[in-house]
């Protein structure tokens, strides 16, 4: 019963990561772990950005969705 009560955050994180996960097979096990933690960091950053937008009263249509957020991060990294 306690397990199910606090499982919502983990299920949400797993489902958000699964939306746009890279489906690349890595030969080294540590590559898979690194990219999993990178996906975690991006999703957590997006959730914090959404919370900040809600506190700043930014309209829902002006907020970035997860795919747009990932695209913005990759565009910034390539410049």
- pLDDT tens digit string along 58-72? 998 999 999 999 999
CA–CA separation, 79 and 71 (whole Å): 13
Q: What is the pLDDT of residue 1?
A: 65
Distance CA 26, CA 28 (A): 5
Q: Indicate the number of domains in the chain.
A: 1
Which residue bears the tokens 């991060």? 73
Q: What kind and span of H or E run contains 4?
A: helix 2-5
Domain that holds residue 29: 2-78
Classify residue 57 as left (phi > 0), alpha (psi -120 to 50) or beta: left
| pLDDT at res. 5 | 72
The two three-digit tokens of residue 38, written as one number: 């990178």
């Amino acid at each position: 019963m306690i397990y199910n009560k606090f499982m919502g955050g983990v299920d949400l994180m797993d489902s958000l990561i699964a939306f746009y996960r890279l489906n690349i097979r890595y030969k080294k096990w540590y590559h898979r772990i690194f990219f999993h933690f990178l996906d975690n960091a991006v999703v957590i950053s997006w959730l914090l950005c959404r919370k900040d937008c809600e506190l700043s009263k930014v309209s829902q249509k002006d907020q970035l969705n997860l795919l747009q957020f990932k695209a913005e991060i990759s565009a910034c990294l390539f410049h």
